[in-house]
Amino acid sequence: MRGRNNCGFTLVELLVVVLILGALAFVAIPRIGQSATTAKVNACDTNVDLLNAQIELYYATTGEWPSTLGTITGNEDYFPDGAPECPYSEDYVMGTNHRVSEHTATAHGL
């Protein structure tokens, strides 16, 4: 009898590898989705801070508060690359206190 040349993997070895990859995917995929959500929230918060800083700059420059948010966002002196856009496609609104409020978590469906 000639010796058998065992080249390849057994079914058990392949099954173990598939189970390990499945476990890794089970842990990694939810974290990736959570990271994307966190990034959107942080981008939105940064936009609010930027808008409020530009409102303050407008007040320091002109001595009066802007009448609307469009006064700031439409001015290339304050936003030369255009106004920041909310990653959730919501409009930023300036309140009567001359501040743009942060979006609530429920507005983003969180």
- The per-residue pLDDT for range 43-101, each reduced to its tens digit, is 999 999 999 999 999 999 999 999 999 999 998 999 999 899 988 888 899 988 999 98
Q: Residue 3: its pLDDT value, please?
A: 57
Instruction: Confirm whether 7 is domain-assigned.
Output: no
- 68, 24 in Cβ contact below 8 A? no
Residue 91 placed within a domain:
yes
Neighbours of 56 (CB within 10 A): 13
Check whether 33 has a pLDDT greater than 80. no
Contact 60, 17 (CB under 8 A): no
Cβ atoms within 10 Å, residue 76: 8
76 in a domain, yes or no? Answer: yes
Range of the domain at 102: 17-110
* Number of structural domains found in the chain: 1
Q: Does some domain include residue 90?
A: yes
Assigned domain for 1 exists = no
| Alpha carbons 99 and 54: distance in angstroms, whole number | 10
**What is residue 2's predicted lDDT score, i.e. its pLDDT?**
57
Q: Tell me the pTM.
A: 0.68
